[in-house]
């Protein structure tokens, strides 16, 4: 149920995102989801890709600082209240969300929320008990 995510530390310089995406494209790696957060000095690019191991190796070979983390990808209804329902379960379970980002595959059907929890195993148990669908890595990498 956990999905491996790549985190790349970037200097705030023009063209760094273009460089990363070109390297991935040249090596047949497809980005499934991404999030970019920045500070004055650096950014953290978080990616879920179709081949995490290959992407991590190639980026390191090209001089990037790369780490991995486990996240959960949760399916929610793509309608008003879909996310609120899941967040209420998380609140009632007293779970802490470190960060999250989202995407939809087809408007009006389902959305996918990527969560980083401080207690990922407890999050899996809590969401599963509430019948919230958590996607496997294989499902996400194949999107």
- Is residue 65 located within the same domain as residue 83? no
Mean pLDDT lowest for which of 12-16, 19-23, 32-36, 50-54?
Answer: 12-16
- Is residue 62 located within the same domain as residue 116? no
Domain boundary pick from 69, 99, 122: 69
DSSP annotation string for 31-42: EEEEEEEE-SSE
- Is residue 58 located within the same domain as residue 8? yes
- Reported as a single tens digit per residue, the pLDDT across 44-87 is 999 999 999 999 999 999 999 999 999 999 999 888 999 999 99
CATH value at residue 78: 3.30.70.260
Question: How far apart are the C-alpha atoms of 74 and 83, rounded to whole Å?
Answer: 10
CATH value at residue 6: 3.30.2130.10
- Is residue 56 located within the same domain as residue 108? no
Match 């802490």 to its residue by tokens.
96
- State the pTM of this model: 0.88
Range of the structural domain that residue 59 is part of? 2-69
Integer-rounded Cα Rg, in Å, for the chain is 16
Rounded to whole angstroms, the maximal C-alpha distance in the chain is: 46
Q: Give kind and range of the element (H or E) at residue 123.
A: helix 120-129
Question: How far apart are the C-alpha atoms of 123 and 127, rounded to whole Å?
Answer: 6
- The four Cα atoms 33, 98, 39, 58 give a dihedral, to 10 degrees, of -40
In the structure, how many helices (H) and strands (E) does the chain have?
5, 7
């Amino acid at each position: 149920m956990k999905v491996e995510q790549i985190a790349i530390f970037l200097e705030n310089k023009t063209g760094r995102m273009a460089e990363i995406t070109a390297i991935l494209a040249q090596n047949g790696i497809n980005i499934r989801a991404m999030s970019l957060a920045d500070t004055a000095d650096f950014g953290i690019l978080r990616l879920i890709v179709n081949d995490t191991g290959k992407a991590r190796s190639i980026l390191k070979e090209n001089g990037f600082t790369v780490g991995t983390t486990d996240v959960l990808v949760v399916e929610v209804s793509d309608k008003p209240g879909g996310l609120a329902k899941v967040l209420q379960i998380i609140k009632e379970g007293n779970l802490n969300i470190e960060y999250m980002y989202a995407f939809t595959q087809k408007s009006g059907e389902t959305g996918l929320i990527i969560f980083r929890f401080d207690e990922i195993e407890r999050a899996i148990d809590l969401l599963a008990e509430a019948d919230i669908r958590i996607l496997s890595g294989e499902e996400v990498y194949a999107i």
